[in-house]
Structure 1
């Protein structure tokens, strides 16, 4: 029992040492607490407990700064080396395991897996044959820890400012219609003409009215409407437009093949929907496995190669 208690106290001591290093490097209790996602009171208590256990004052605190005492400077040098060695050991182990084999879990928004990510996953697994990839398609923003997630691909940046956000691709939605529909309906030459047409909207049953926002240089136009057909899936929106059920807006990256095949036509090319950014989000380089880093680098390369094809429709 005494041995177990000693081990537990030692682990707590190591934890306090790491917090001490972060406080010194941040030169602020408040900044360190934010970096570590800890309550300020908890962080302050850990440092106090560390000083009490060492029977030594390590830090001199003022309202504006944190300074090391003379003995604190010596202690900090040893702690810094220890924490750096610990982080390096963890990173080396993760890289070794991920290089040989490993599980990669990514989340992607609905409708983007097939046109964007599955081809990249195929290329990735052809290069790293022992890599297993789990793709979660979800409108919900998954939690990195609770969902055991490595990378999250999103069209909205996260609220957690401690996460690393990488901009991968910018694209727009476009206005589309089928030749069969356009052949029997009045021409559409300006956004105001939308009032004369049946419209297919991306939406949910509890959102009866939608707004399409257009821009042409300095000109702006908003079209509020209740859609004739509302679907909460863009692939189905695209198929409904192809069937001639009305005009629709859809991500340009989903429309490439159908435009090339002549199934749909891009309308109002001078008027643009707002730009959308696809982000990759992760928890920082220290928590990013080599497998996840390799996948992210491949995404950057592939999106750069296909940028014109994906965004100029």
Structure 2
């Protein structure tokens, strides 16, 4: 076990760049830290730190040694947490954010079921279509739709979605249906957050600019307008797929429909997920994929 002697002190000094701060972090004396580092350097036969009155910094050998020691220490911490979590039932506060419509229809019912199953869990939910900063806002979890921006967050797929272009039978009877993307210019398009719709054309993604007499940032409002024959809409499947199957809406331009895109659970890149978040993410993935 002597091989572990001084490792915690060495990692603490390397990260704090200060013997006193490292001692405070470990709740030991500065003299103890200094002795442990000295003994470690003697055992390894090399200098790990450059020491001046103002600064402590790693030598080249110290930098290499730190990378390995940090991994070892992280592995030990994760091993202990994993064993602890096996005994722990999910409990405590989970703070999460999700898009409004998807959150209302899918996430909240599942989250409520989860709270029934695990009564010790509390939830603070922010349904918003804004992309919130998880770290700054102290969120444990975010539900995101579609393509993900590059970030340091961890992502787990929960489900998928696709977009339909559709109109009511009454609209089609009166104005016909578009057979090509360019024919959309002859129709009243019901516009959401963007004035373009997304398609695949000749194997490539294309954003096609659309025009119309209604602009609204509510998918349900646009669905209602489409059902009442006001115009053509492009919406994710969870808004209008049931209407299409029931014949209340007619889908077209299906050959230009984009491939399915992901619905994700995002969480900060912690070394080890707490039981409450880990179990919740697995629960959502199972339920949303129909597992």
State the TM-score, normalizing by the size of structure 2. 0.71
- Listed as ranges, the matches of 1:209-220 within 5 Å are 210-216=195-201, 218=203
Which residue of 2 is the match for residue 244 of structure 1?
229
Which of 37, 52, 59 is residue 48 of structure 2 equivalent to? 59
Alignment of 1:108-123 (within 5 A): 108-123=98-113
Contact 2:78/2:272 (8 A) holds in 1? no
| Cα pair 2:188 2:211 within 8 Å, conserved | no
Of the three residues 164, 168, 178, the one matched with 1:174 is: 164
Hey, what's the Cα distance between the residues in 2 that align with 1:96 and 1:103? 18
1:216-231 → structure 2 map (5 Å cutoff): 216=201, 218=203, 222-231=207-216
Deviation (angstroms), 1:145: 4.5
2:277 is aligned with 1:260: no
Mapping 1:146-185, distance limit 5 Å:
146-155=136-145, 156-157=147-148, 159-161=150-152, 163-185=153-175
Task: Specify the SS of the correspondent of 2:100.
Answer: coil
Distance 1:16 1:180 in 2: 75
Q: Secondary structure at the match of 1:124?
A: helix
**1:71-150 maps to which residues of 2 (within 5 A)?**
99=89, 101-150=91-140
Alpha-carbon displacement from aligned partner over 1:215-252 (angstroms, at most 9, x marks no partner)? 15536655323332111122222222112111011011
Which of the numbers 14, 17, 33 marks the counterpart of 1:45? 17
* Alignment match, 1:31: none
The number of equivalent residue pairs is 259
Whether 1:192 and 2:192 are equivalent positions in the alignment is no
Would the alpha carbon gap of residues 235 and 15 (structure 1) be closer, same or farther in structure 2, given more than 3 Å must change? farther
Which of 293, 297, 300 lines up with 2:285 in the alignment? 300
1:258 deviation in Å? 2.1
Q: Equivalent residue of 1:257, what SS?
A: helix
Cα 1:122–1:259 change in 2 (3 A) is farther
Contact 2:85 2:274 (C-alpha < 8 Å) held by counterparts = yes
Q: Distance in 2 between matches of 1:149 and 1:168?
A: 18
Q: Show the counterpart of 1:291.
A: 276
Contact 2:135 2:268 in 1 (8 A): no
Q: Distance in 2 between matches of 1:67 and 1:218?
A: 47
Secondary structure, counterpart of 1:112 in structure 2: helix
Per-residue CA deviations over 1:194-228 (Å, capped at 9, x if unaligned) read 1111011112xxx7xx2223215536655323332
Structure 1: give runs of 5+ residues left out of the alignment.
1-13, 24-42, 307-313
For 1:240 and 1:139, locate their aligned partners in 2 and report how far apart those are by CA, in whole Å.
21
Please list, as runs of the form range in 1=range in 2, the aligned pairs for 1:14-53 lying within 5 A after superposition.
18-19=11-12, 43=15, 45-46=17-18
Query: Contact (CA 8 Å) 1:169, 1:278: kept in 2 or not?
Result: yes
